[in-house]
Amino acid sequence: MRLPAAFVALAVAVSAMADAAPTIDIRAQTSVALDRIRLRGDGLAEVTGQLVDRLTGDGLGNQTVSIRIGDELITATTAPDGRFRATLPVPPGPQSVELAFPGGPLLEPAKQSITTDPSKAQVVLTVTVEDAPSGAAILVHATADDLPAGLPIELSIGNRVELEVGGGAAGDLKPITTLESGHAFLLTRKAAGGAGAKRLRAVFAGDESRGKAQVEAAFELATSTTTTMAVSTNSLAFEDDLIVTGTVIDDDGRPVGRAAVTLVSGDRRLGQGATGDDGAYRFQVEGEIIGQGQYGIQVTSDPGLSFIRGSRSQPAIIKVGAPQPVPVSYTIAAFVATLGAAAGFFIARAKPWRRFRRAAPAAEVASNQSEADQTAGGLVANKPSVMSTLRRPNDDGFSGVVRDTVRSRPVPGGVVVLTLGDVERDMRTDEDGSFAIEKLAPGEWRAEVAAPGHVTERFGVSIPHRGELRGVRIDLVPVRERVFQLYRRAAEPVLPEPRLWGVWSPRQIVDHVRAQRPSPALADLTDFVEEVYFSPRLAPESVLTSASERVERAIRERSHAA
């Protein structure tokens, strides 16, 4: 059958509109920096520098960078590590050097301008940072035309995100001292504003014969913790509960919130939890779980941050008494109540045999998480069979599946690592996200599950067990989802109504915030979230620290404006 010409024209127009549907490309932010400019004679100078991805710090190879000095313009192609080198004529005296990267389909443009005198000795600074008991030991080395030199160096410190937002400007950097290169300096955590991810800047201001130079170094300022423990009693009846309380604080006396804490007795795990914002925790354990006899108990803490080290409390000795016999009247009453409940159950149910059906493994059960729960990953243990709970723990294996908690899809290529003292067992998940590690030695193993683009999960695994660690589900939260959830604290007050956070799509939220002409800190945070959330690249877990700091800056800026 021949179609009418009008119908054919309409179909072609609809097809063209579909083909022309708008696409959104998220481009990576870049940074171009000048390393040095050295006069080589005959009026020629050698210029070196590097082009990097601002998010990851990786060099960008095979890209074109333009270099302008005065009226001279030349282009250079970056090496695989992002470094470039070029030679061009330079007139005498101080010169303005302009570096520019035009960008690309997936890369934002970048530029840098600096004034320097190529005729002066070129100074190069290098910084080394080593851990020290109360902070970090800083050592700055300086060379002038490749020869060692003792120069006055100004040091400034700040949180890593502050330099990234400023794009190389001083921003909120705090001057801390002026020292001579080659001499070590002890940077205390108090002077640096506490432990965490830091960025250090060393600057030589230049003099009559040597040019200005500066260098920046990123590092983590680490701290240890102290875990305290107090027990409600050292002599406990078999039928009573033991209350264990305490705190986790760092070396500077600050509380450590959201640290994982575990109550253990030897190789047995009696309870797990987390500290509050004030660093405090509380356990309530039945004497029956501890068992009759005398035991040593202890609390271990794991803050879950690379720059905060975990610790153990001082042990305490607990004596649990023998169980007391139950009166006969209690036994009879319990039997009658149980018989009545069972009769009512079978009468109310049409198919009573379903009561004996064994539950599906945790790995096969849908998560059905709410939006608030989608950023909470972790271990979902399996429910052992009734017969297994009557036997002593005898299973020495650990198996299950690793899934994306937002999309409920398996995560292939994830790494499951179990550690017990100096012993380490690891395995990579299959295409369906499954894994199985057998013949584990008895003890309290430390588990760590990681996958590209997801937040690493850490928890304890007690071996042997009664089957609850067979067919488990380990939920991993995508980094981009965690970043967007952090963004909520800063962006939700900008929405017309708070309830729209669960109604609007992430793209609608980002576009609305940008349309409101947000404050500088919120605008920078929105650009950062857009790149991490919508980019096809997998964001590394390290961006979470930067995201949290950007959110805090946006909230502080809104509070000051109010």
Helix axes of 506-515 and 479-491: crossing angle, nearest 10 degrees: 40
Q: How far does CA 57 lie from the centroid of its chain?
A: 16
Cα gap 540→474, rounded to integer Å: 19
Beta bridge partners, 400, equal: 435, 472
Three-class SS state of 97: strand
Determine the pLDDT at residue 251: 86
Strands (E), 346-410: 378-380, 398-404, 409-410
pLDDT tens-place string over residues 20-73: 444 455 678 888 888 778 777 677 888 889 998 877 778 899 999 999 987 888
Determine the pLDDT at residue 123: 83
Cα gap 225→166, rounded to integer Å: 32
Residues lower than pLDDT 50 in the chain:
1-23, 162-171, 350, 353, 356, 370-372
Beta bridge partners, 305, equal: none
Cα gap 17→27, rounded to integer Å: 25
- Please work out, in degrees rounded to the nearest 5, the angle formed at the alpha carbon of residue 418 by the alpha carbons of 417 and 419: 120
**Rounded-to-10 torsion of CA 290, 292, 295, 297:** 20
Domains of the chain in sequence order:
30-116 (2.60.40.10), 123-221 (2.60.40.10), 225-320 (2.60.40.1930), 362-477 (2.60.40.1120), 480-561 (no CATH)
Cβ contacts of 356 within 8 Å, gap of 6 or more: none
Determine the pLDDT at residue 1: 44
How far lies 86's CA from each of 35, 58, 140, 143, 423, in Å? 12, 21, 28, 22, 52
Determine the pLDDT at residue 109: 92
Cα gap 285→273, rounded to integer Å: 12
Cα gap 394→296, rounded to integer Å: 23
pLDDT tens-place string over residues 295-316: 889 999 988 877 888 899 999 9
Nearest to 74 by CA among 60, 64, 82: 64
According to DSSP, the β-strands at 260-265 and 280-286 are unpaired
According to DSSP, the β-strands at 280-286 and 423-428 are unpaired
Nearest to 467 by CA among 386, 364, 382: 382
Cα gap 155→141, rounded to integer Å: 13
**Could you tell me if 407 and 442 are in contact, meaning their C-beta atoms sit under 8 angstroms apart?**
no
Helix runs in 319-465, H state only:
328-348, 386-390
